[in-house]
Structures are given as C-alpha cells and as structure tokens.
Amino acid sequence: MKLRSFVIALVTSLIGGGLTIRSPCGAVGHGALYHSQSPEAYFTHTPGLHVVIPSNPIDAKGLLLSSIRSKDPVIFFEPKILYRASVGDVPIGDYEIPLGKANVCIPGEHVTLIGWGNQVNVLKKTAEIAKKELGVSCEVIDLRSLAPWDVDCVVNSVEKTGRLIVSHEAPKTGGFAGEIASTIQDRCFLSLEAPIQRVCGFDTPFPLVYEKFYMPNHLKMMDAVKKVMEY
C-alpha cells in the first residue's frame, strides 16, 4: 500500500470507525534497510490507534479476529520470518484474544523478559539457557499489543522478580522499550533490584551482510541477564 493510500485509510478510520490494516514487519534474514524494519514505535504515537504484533499462529488468528471486530482502527504487524518458521495448531472456528492483554509464556522468579513478535522466541530460548547454565528463573512475557499495552501484567511480574529486560528488533533510541522502562521505573521503583535493561537493534540503518550481528539474539540477552543478576 502506498503511503498516501495508507494515510487516507487511517484518517478515514479514525473519523468513521474501525479499520484493520495488516502489514509485514521485522527481519527475515536478507531484507536489509528496505524490508527488515520494525516501525511499531512510530504508530504507538498515534492516539486512538491500536498496535498489535502476534508471535505465533494461534495468537495471530485470535488477535486478528479481535482487531477486525474492534470499533477502533488497528495496525496489525506480522513478523515476516514467522510466515514460514512458526507452526501451531490453530483453533478451528471462531476464536478471539482480547487486545491489550499480555501473555505470560513462561513463569519465572528472578528476571522478567519482555518482547513481542519473533523476539518472544528469542526470549524463550534465553530463558531455557539461563535456567540450565545459571540456575536463573526467567519469566517471559509476550506483550502482543503495544497500544494499549498490558501495564498491570508487567508491573505484577517486576514486583515479583525485581529485574526487567525489554527486547525488540527496532533501534534502541525511540524504541517502545523506552516507554516500558519509563512506566515500570515509575510504578516499580522500590521493587527494582537492578537497572532496567534494553536489548535492541542498533541505531543504524538495517544492514544486509551484517544482519545477524544487528539482531538482538539470545547471546546478547544472556549478557543482559548476567548483568542484572550480578548488579
């Protein structure tokens, strides 16, 4: 969809009611600066617009149906890499997941890990390694919706663990992790045992040859886990 058409559709939906726009996003391994961006933070700055990003086929169906039936406009981001990499038994028939409700994928006690889209799979791998190698119990939360986002779910988790790491593919500066960190610092200051960490993409155009070095992978996440545990 051309930018002009997108803006017209978005403005129309804001004036007249709900509209859901599906859009690919994220890295796929060879997209570079034209096809690998994660622009979700741009759209969370639009009042009244819901921003949704699923991490698996089941959530994709439930969230998409909820988006379509919403009276508000929704931009539904679909991580391109999951088109071929993610497999799941999708419920048959009508199935909805409420917008704005996060999912605690893995319960934990020591560190809260937050992500969305394909980054959730990176966090799950990190939690497995941290448990095996460090004896650290990580709670993994799939935010699923960024606007609105489930503040209470994250607050409850951080009040339990005392440590928070937020990860996304988008560049660190201006990324949505900053909004989460600010909110949790305000709500959970006395519960924090270490500074909130952000593991994100670099503040550079998305590279092609060096895409794997740009991505926030489980190795970078493990460094952040060790940092908050040793603080």
pLDDT tens readout for residues 132-191: 999 999 999 999 999 999 999 999 999 999 999 999 999 999 999 999 999 999 999 999
Tell me if 55 sits within 8 A of 82, measured CB to CB: yes
In the numeric block, which tokens belong to residue 6?
Answer: 């997108």
Sheet with 145-147, edge to edge strand ranges: 20-25, 74-79, 50-52, 145-147
Determine phi and psi for 193, rounding to 5 degrees.
-100, -10
- Nearest CA to 176 out of 112, 99, 120, 116 is that of 116
Distance from C-alpha of 223 to C-alpha of 197, rounded to nearest angstrom: 10
Output the pLDDT for position 42: 94
More confidently predicted of 12 and 21: 21
Closest CA to 77 of 114, 49, 109, 112: 49
Out of 13-27, 59-73, 93-107, pick the least confident.
Answer: 13-27
Compute CA distances 147 → 6, 179, 183, whole Å. 19, 11, 14
| CATH class of the domain comprising 103-230 | alpha beta
**Confidence at residue 22, expressed as pLDDT on a 0 to 100 scale:** 96
Contact between 32 and 206 (Cβ < 8 Å): yes
Q: What is the residue-averaged pLDDT of the chain?
A: 91
Give the single-character DSSP code of 193: S
- Give the global pTM: 0.90
Instruction: Give residue 212's pLDDT.
Output: 84
- Using the predicted structure, report yes or no on whether residue 194 has a pLDDT greater than 60: yes
Average pLDDT over residues 46-51: 95
Name the segment(s) of the chain with CATH classification 3.40.50.920: 103-230
Residue 50 has pLDDT above 60, yes or no: yes
- As given in the structure block, the two tokens for residue 85 are 């990499």
CATH node for 3-85: 3.40.50.970
All CATH 3.40.50.970 domain ranges of the chain, comma separated, are 3-85
pLDDT of amino acid 1: 47
CA nearest neighbour of 148 among 2, 48, 12: 48
- In the block, which residue shows the tokens 């949704």? 52
Name residue 165's beta-bridge partners.
113, 197
